[in-house]
Amino acid sequence: MMFSLFLTEGLGIQKWTYILVGLTFALYIGIAIWSRAGSTKEFYVAGGGVSPLANGMATAADWMSAASFISMAGIISFAGYDGAVYLMGWTGGYVLLALLLAPYLRKFGKFTVPDFIGDRYYSNTARSVGVFCALIVSFTYVAGQMRGVGLVFSRFLEVDINTGVIIGMIIVLFYAVLGGMKGITYTQVAQYCVLIFAFMVPAIFISIQMTGNPIPQLGFGSTLADGSETYLLDKLDGLSTDLGFTAYTKGSKSTIDVFAITLALMVGTAGLPHVIVRFFTVKRVKDARKSAGIALLLIVILYTAAPAVAVFARTNMIETVSNQPYANVPEWFKKWETTGLITFTDKNGDGRIQYLADTTKNELVVDNDIMVLANPEIAQLPDWVIALVAAGALAAALSTAAGLLLVISASVSHDLIKKMINPNISEKGELIAARLSAVAAVCVAGYFGINPPGFVAATVALAFGLAAASFFPAIILGIFYKKMNKEGAIAGMVVGITAMLLYMIKYRLGWFDDVTPNKSEWWFGISPEGFGTVAMVLNFIVSVIVMQFTPAPPEDVQEIVENIRIPSGAGDATH
């Protein structure tokens, strides 16, 4: 009776958020305490004994970051057809990683990507370059996650974004530093459950509301529930063109840019150190393959629903605010306005919100990143559903942030200190170094979260470009080309990461210019998010050319490369 009264009286969004976020945070912290790491093996790879199901769920949570949960559907909402590059790139990239790289890296048996680079290319210089690349990629990626945390806190707990980032830093620090990979793995299992439930519940509600179909993946291609027999996508095309925008189902990006971004995201995925390390936490190579397949099935649930969420959010937003009197805008609009993520400037003084493609007349600016978070509010769903989305967004951001912070700390403590600076360090000393590295990494991540180079998905896309430009060629050549030597790999990584960094700094951050560069200055018409493809090709070319003029790898290294490509037990049939 009391519970029924408690629900019917209504708590309001903020109180529901405190309850649901508080409960999920308590769960994460409890799991971290229960599964705290007691050795470096537990800290780096969870002791190597995680089951394929648990690892698949943890990998899915690690993979579905704030960019997937918050920003991907937001980008698709505004970019329409062009936003499909993120779906194709990230999904295709995960398949590439699972089938082409993960089993071989697992068989090689190294904790981290720089560890693989250092041993495969028999060089501490190669290891150092690998550590540098891992840190650059991870810090760029984690900046997007921390911004996502700040966004959620700023709206739903009504604190400013910077305070939200600091709160997120403290939570991540607690369970990442205490639990290491062991704590993070089981925390991520819980976080997957929270984030997928939080993403799908409002999607199902709104799909029923708009089309009568309870399956969002089918709903956004269905006719409207108002009996008009109009397809939802046709309606959105009409709303978009009426406001001067390109039809939602048509693209405006050049073919070469679509190709470059998709490929950069795909091969960048295959070089992401925080995803690769997940395959070292299982007992056997076949468990790595199995957990990769489970993770893919779990990821597909959200990735196939994201386009539907994008369509629902875009349609509802246009209908709710376009050409409406500002005095009559709903409460959600005013709440988001206080965060600075929605801004209205009455240019013509008529008191109405003019939302138009023409930037000289447009009066409304909406940040891509709020669309998923604001979607249930725009659709007037119950307060607890709105709060649930906030908890899910935090789960997505924190799960990936924790994985990235572990990569950063492992790169410093294991690859830099243990392998290069002080090989005789005790296990206890290495564990302390790993935890101190994680603390320092959280502080740096917090700074980038407060001062990010763009919205969440754009920032994350740059991290994929950096991974594509640096790690992917070195890993592929290291596994499949036994003649690739250290000189070629080092030269390729240096050229690739340098090219990507310079392009990113010039054309995304504008550090070399007095004004922000425009699209007409992009090389070959390729955006910074897609330039990782060009930098990757440069890496391959430089690696192979330098290899031709330098000594071949030692015979024992070539033999290792031959062995990691032979399936376990393959020799049994010959005896």
What percent of the chain stands above pLDDT 90? Answer: 15
Band of residue 202 on the pLDDT scale cut at 50, 70, 90: very high
10 compared with 376, residue with greater pLDDT: 376
pLDDT band (50, 70, 90) for residue 177: low
Provide the token pair at 181: 């990979």
Cα–Cα distance measured from residue 440 to residue 451, given in angstroms and rounded to the nearest whole number: 17
> Over 90: is that where the pLDDT of 87 sits?
no
Residues 6+ positions from 467 with CB-CB distance below 8 Å: 133, 137, 267, 268, 269, 270, 271, 272, 273, 532
> Who's near 507: CB < 8 A, 6+ residues apart?
517, 521, 522, 527, 528, 531
* CA distance to 79, 334, 554, per residue, from 284 (Å): 42, 53, 28
Number of Cβ within a 10 Å radius of residue 383? 18
- What's the confidence (pLDDT) of residue 203? 93
Sequence-distant (≥ 6) Cβ neighbours of residue 183 within 8 angstroms:
31, 32, 35, 36, 37, 175, 176
Q: Which residue has the higher pLDDT, 529 or 549?
A: 549
pLDDT of residue 166: 82
Q: How many residues does the chain have?
A: 575
pLDDT digits (tens, 9 = 90+) for 214-234: 999 998 889 888 888 899 999
Q: What is the mean pLDDT of the chain?
A: 80
- Tell me: pLDDT of 486 over 80: yes
Cα atoms in the 13 Å half-sphere on the side-chain side of 167:
20
pLDDT for the residue 334: 87
- Assess whether pLDDT exceeds 50 at residue 4: no
Predicted pLDDT at 571: 43
pLDDT tens sequence across 246-305: 888 887 778 888 889 899 888 887 767 677 777 777 777 778 778 888 888 898 899 899
Confidence of residue 167 (pLDDT cuts 50, 70, 90): confident
Distance from C-alpha of 501 to C-alpha of 505, rounded to nearest angstrom: 6
Residue environment code for 114-126, b if the CB has 16+ CB neighbours within 10 A, otherwise e: bbbbbbbbebeeb
pLDDT in the model for residue 3: 36
Check pLDDT > 60 for residue 457.
Answer: no
Q: Answer for the pair 341, 151: CB distance below 8 angstroms, yes or no.
A: yes
In the prediction, which pLDDT does 454 show?
56
* pLDDT range class, residue 401, cuts 50, 70, 90: confident
- Give tens-digit pLDDT for 515-535: 455 666 788 888 888 899 999
Q: What is the dihedral of CA 127, 406, 185, 97, to 10 degrees?
A: -40
- Confidence class of residue 133 from pLDDT cuts 50, 70 and 90? confident
What pairs with residue 50 in β-bridges? 282
Q: Which two tokens stand for residue 552?
A: 């071949």
Residue 540 confidence (pLDDT) above 70: yes
Give the integer Cα–Cα distance in Å for 82 and 563: 43
More confident residue, 498 or 97: 498
The Cα-based distances of 356 to 43, 122, 312, 360 in angstroms read: 52, 58, 19, 9
CB 465 within 8 A of CB 264: yes
Q: Which residue has the higher pLDDT, 234 or 163?
A: 234
Averaged pLDDT for residues 102-116: 75
pLDDT of residue 49: 65
Give the dihedral sign, CA 508/512/516/520: negative
**pLDDT of 98 higher than 70:** yes
Mean pLDDT of 28-49: 62
Q: Where are the beta strands (DSSP E) in 92-188?
A: none
Query: What is the separation, in whole angstroms, between the first and last Cα of the chain?
Result: 72
d(CA 247, CA 94): 30
CB neighbourhood size of 54 (10 A): 19
Which carries the bigger pLDDT value, residue 311 or residue 289?
311
pLDDT score at 37: 54
Which range (88-92, 125-129, 152-156, 353-357) has the least confidence? 152-156
Pick the range with the lowest mean pLDDT from 7-16, 57-66, 390-399: 7-16
Q: What angle do CA 387, 23, 450 make, to 5 degrees?
A: 65
Q: What is the mean pLDDT of residues 478-504?
A: 92
Give me the mean pLDDT over the 325-354 stretch. Answer: 86
Determine the pLDDT at residue 86: 83
Dihedral (CA of 360, 361, 363, 368) sign: negative
Neighbours of 184 (CB within 10 A): 35
Chain-centroid distance, C-alpha 380? 28
Q: What is the mean pLDDT of residues 419-436?
A: 79
